[in-house]
């Protein structure tokens, strides 16, 4: 059996066992990784064949996306579903700075035969044995009341807003978003945005303007000029986002729809030919790539001092 078939079978074995333990399992479709809702938990699944050690690849972007979900876990299937490590995602993310990765943010995760997680440095490990086959954590009721839980779409929406705010900040622009309380990496978006209130513009309807998901402004004295504006559309359709962005039609602003639906975007643009050249559809994964590249560049600049 080749490696790809082994990985596929291990994933299927995990899902079968998860259904047996928790009953309710479905993919988190808004995320483009092996992430699943298992009862009240959200789980990122990684699998590896038994080669004496267990080698897993994990991109930081995917880990961050799942870590921002409610009740998030990561599961490492180590050669067999009977040898599955299930631990809270936040706990795992805390260890990532001690794990080797390449320039693209791809972590090389090694779990030894004794289920110790290998870290940087000789004989530097963390035991994971206590998390072996922790199915009870996935099948338990969430401690968060249902009224306070966010859907995967709501959480991912905030992640994309947070990433866009961070990129705008790194580029030295004044950033704004309307969703102050939503969190990205445990920080309210209101703390990430440089502007508490949306500037009023002479030629834009302020009610529409202040509800745009993210805006980057260039400041000159007391004046603010909108450089780029973004609407994240994961489930509400393209039309509403285009309508809000169209409030900036009188400005030389680059307008973006962030969505997984380029065909629907194109259909909307065909009905708005006078605005089509102003708009661009961007995949959520591309936002992640830009965010990862710019944050890594900032880290390198700080390290080298150039």
Residue 271 confidence (pLDDT): 87
CATH number at residue 108: 3.40.1350
pLDDT in tens, 213-242: 999 999 999 999 999 999 999 976 788 899
Residue 189 predicted with pLDDT over 90: yes
Same domain for 132 and 24: yes
Angle between helices 152-170 and 284-304 (to 10 degrees): 40
Q: Could you say which DSSP state residue 195 is in?
A: -
Of 44, 71, 56, 68, the C-alpha closest to 7 is 56
Q: Are residues 122 and 161 in the same domain?
A: no
The Cα 199–Cα 251 span in angstroms is 14
CA–centroid distance for 12 within its chain: 24
| 44 and 140 share one domain | yes
Domain total for the chain? 2
Please check whether residues 178 and 287 belong to one and the same domain.
yes
| Cα distance between residue 222 and residue 44, in whole Å | 46
- DSSP class of 103: T
Res. 146 pLDDT band, cuts 50 70 90: confident
Domain boundary among 111, 127, 148: 148
SS3 250: coil
Structure tokens at 40: 């009240």
Does 220 lie in the same domain as 100?
A: no
The alpha-helical segments, DSSP class H, found in the chain are 3-22, 60-67, 89-95, 135-139, 152-170, 189-192, 206-209, 239-245, 262-270, 284-304
Predicted confidence (pLDDT) per residue in 26-68, tens digit: 999 999 999 999 999 999 999 999 999 999 999 999 999 999 9
Whether residue 129 is found in the same domain as residue 56: yes
- Taking alpha carbons only, the member of 169, 250, 175 closest to residue 214 is 175
CB count in 10 Å sphere of residue 152: 22
CA 240 to chain centre: 23
* Helix (H) or strand (E) run with residue 85 in it: strand 84-88
Residues 104 and 176 in one domain: no
Q: Tokens at residue 39, please?
A: 């009862």
Mean pLDDT of the chain: 92
- pTM of the full structure: 0.92
Q: Which domain holds residue 39?
A: 3-148
Residues 290 and 156 in one domain: yes
The pLDDT tens digits for 72-115 are 999 999 999 999 999 999 999 999 999 988 877 789 999 999 99
């Amino acid at each position: 059996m080749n490696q790809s078939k082994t990985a596929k079978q291990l994933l299927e074995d995990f899902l079968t066992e998860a259904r047996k333990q928790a009953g309710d399992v479905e993919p988190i479709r808004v995320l483009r990784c092996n992430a699943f809702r298992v009862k009240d938990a959200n789980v990122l699944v990684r699998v590896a064949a038994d080669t004496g050690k267990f080698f897993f690849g994990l991109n930081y972007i995917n880990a961050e996306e799942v870590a921002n979900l409610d009740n998030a876990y990561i599961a490492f299937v180590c050669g067999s579903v009977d040898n599955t490590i299930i631990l809270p995602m936040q706990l795992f993310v805390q260890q990532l700075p001690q794990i080797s990765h390449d320039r693209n943010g791809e972590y090389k995760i090694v779990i030894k035969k004794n289920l110790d997680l290998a870290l940087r440095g000789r004989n530097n490990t963390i035991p994971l044995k206590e998390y072996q086959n922790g199915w009870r954590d996935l099948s338990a009721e969430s401690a968060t009341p249902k009224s306070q839980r966010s859907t995967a779409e709501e959480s991912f929406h905030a992640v994309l807003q947070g990433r866009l705010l961070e990129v705008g900040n790194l580029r030295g622009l004044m950033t704004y978003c309307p969703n102050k309380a939503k969190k990205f990496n445990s920080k309210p978006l209101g703390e990430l945005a440089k502007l508490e209130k949306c500037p009023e513009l002479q030629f834009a309807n302020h009610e529409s303007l202040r509800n745009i998901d993210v805006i980057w402004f260039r400041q000159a004295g007391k004046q603010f000029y909108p450089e780029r504006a973004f609407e994240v559309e994961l489930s509400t359709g393209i039309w509403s986002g285009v309508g809000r962005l169209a409030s900036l039609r009188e400005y030389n602003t680059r307008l973006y729809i962030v969505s997984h639906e380029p065909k629907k975007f194109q259909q909307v643009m065909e009905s708005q030919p006078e605005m089509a050249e102003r708009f661009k559809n961007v995949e959520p994964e591309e936002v992640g790539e830009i965010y990862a590249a710019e944050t890594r560049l900032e880290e390198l600049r700080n390290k080298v001092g150039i």
